[in-house]
Chains A and B, each alone.
Chain A
């Protein structure tokens, strides 16, 4: 720690002067007693900065020193990672590893509280570091402006004491979990969707891992993400703060960790429900006979990324079509039947010409409107291609002969086929 000196080396007079500056009614006297007789390296300024938590008997100077020596990795600097990073830096955690490859987008500002309008288009890790450094000038920040995946997770996370998992996609969640179990690092899990949040602490050897709860990622198209389903902005604030609290407790070795408990938060009801979760002896990663020896890679078709994150591959096959090829066929004069299954508010914001709009939830009741399309080639679209994938499958099961999903949805259409179509 820079410019520090041992508290035991301080002249008692210096401590008393520090004490005398305070209101005599304020119980800082207690702090000063601990301060003088604790053999740790803190300057007066540092002791004052953290005095509100040092005076908590559970934390004290020892806890503060543990925090200063701790290395915490934060995977994902989104709605969860932002508040977690702010509270951990403010609490005096010595090293924060920031891992995210995204740039700040307008849609982030509703919940990602590290960023401002002037940051749009800038890398999140860079902006976060610039925001955290002035908050706590001694915090050491390891910048990892890359996407954590099964291939690099072990290398990135090795050496950290605890990991905050605040990322937004299943491949990264499994990569974080697998690497944490294999490296023996506690993993503070958090996730959010709409009004529902989840938090737990997975400690290798002391309870379940994420795979014990959810053995494999769900298939593409079966669950929605925040871009598809929405999220109340303050919800990741609540969940990310709980993750920071669990990390601080773990580092200081105090309280009851959230190990073996899955906390499910319903922000609409303002209810917190706890589920007892235990290690699954059959878990492929941490069970009695594990078969996973390195982080497992999964393909992500459940989440949406920013510019340039779509694959390079173009296809027009039985079940799917890429926007460029669909646009080419339309430009060539072909008449394609296009079904838009988004909500009306999305349709107002951005749309393709000559499409039929039936929101996904209304389709079962309105499928009769498509009776002429049963033998035609039909392209289904939504925002990112997740809802439309579900609808395409449903239509096939209900007698539609040729149904294709528009891969990547209207967002990929804007990015690759026609930039005049607004993105949202």
Chain B
């Protein structure tokens, strides 16, 4: 199955792109998708403060993704 991952702020900087497409085996969670996409490039602390969304709705990282889902990683930004 194929999903798209939309990257914001620090994750876009980290990976140098705003969107990636992934082919996954069924049953994977958002946390697995995060590991596949970001791997050890991001810090554990940043992951813990990241907002995860599937199909434009907030989810917890243990949510299982389905074919065609749009996953988003939204880290905090503080600028004002």
Contact = CB atoms under 8 A, between A and B. Distances in A.
Contacts of A166: 80
A76 interface: yes
29 contacts: A165-B80, A166-B80, A167-B80, A168-B78, A169-B78, A170-B76, A173-B76, A191-B76, A192-B79, A193-B9, A193-B77, A196-B77, A198-B77, A213-B58, A213-B74, A213-B76, A214-B49, A214-B76, A215-B48, A219-B43, A223-B77, A225-B78, A226-B79, A236-B80, A264-B74, A273-B56, A275-B57, A276-B57, A278-B58
Contact of A223 (B10, B53, B56, B72): B10
A181 B56 CA distance: 25
Contact of A217 (B8, B13, B74, B76): B76
Nearest to A235: B79
A296 interface: no
Q: Which of A167, A208, A218 has the most CB of B within 10 A?
A: A218
Given A215-B48, A218-B45, A224-B13, 7 more contacts: A167-B78, A214-B50, A216-B49, A217-B49, A218-B43, A229-B13, A275-B58
B58 A192 contact: no
Given A218-B45, A219-B45, A276-B58, A264 B78 contact: no
B48 A168 contact: no
B56 A274 contact: yes
Given A222-B42, A278-B58, A79 B80 contact: yes
B48 A192 contact: no
B1 interface: no
Given A223-B9, A223-B46, A80 B80 contact: yes
B80 A76 contact: yes
A218 B13 contact: no
Interface string A297-311: 000001100000000
Contact of B76 (A168, A218, A280): A218
Contact of A193 (B43, B53, B60, B79): B79
Contacts, number: 111
Contacts of B56: 273-276
B80 to A, nearest CB: 4
Interface in B48-80: 48-51, 53, 56-58, 60, 72, 74-80
B60 to A, nearest CB: 8
Nearest to B12: A196
Given A78-B80, A216-B48, A222 B58 contact: no
B49 to A, nearest CB: 5
Contact of A275 (B45, B49, B72, B76): B72
Contacts of B45: 216, 218-219, 222
Contacts of B53: 275
Contacts of B46: 218-219, 222-223
A277 B8 CA distance: 16
B75 A223 contact: yes
Contacts of B51: 213-214, 262, 275, 277
A214 B76 CA distance: 7
B8 A196 contact: yes
Contacts of A216: 45, 48-49
Nearest to B43: A222
Q: Which of B10, B45, B49, B74 has the most CB of A within 10 A?
A: B49
Nearest to B6: A273
Nearest to B50: A214
A278 B52 CA distance: 12
A329 to B, nearest CB: 30
Interface string A46-85: 0000000000000000000000000000001011110000
Interface in A187-220: 190-194, 196, 198, 208, 213-219
Contacts of B8: 196, 264
Closest 9 CB pairs of A and B: A219-B45, A168-B80, A226-B79, A276-B57, A222-B46, A193-B77, A214-B76, A193-B79, A277-B58
A403 interface: no
A168 B58 CA distance: 24
Contacts of A167: 78, 80
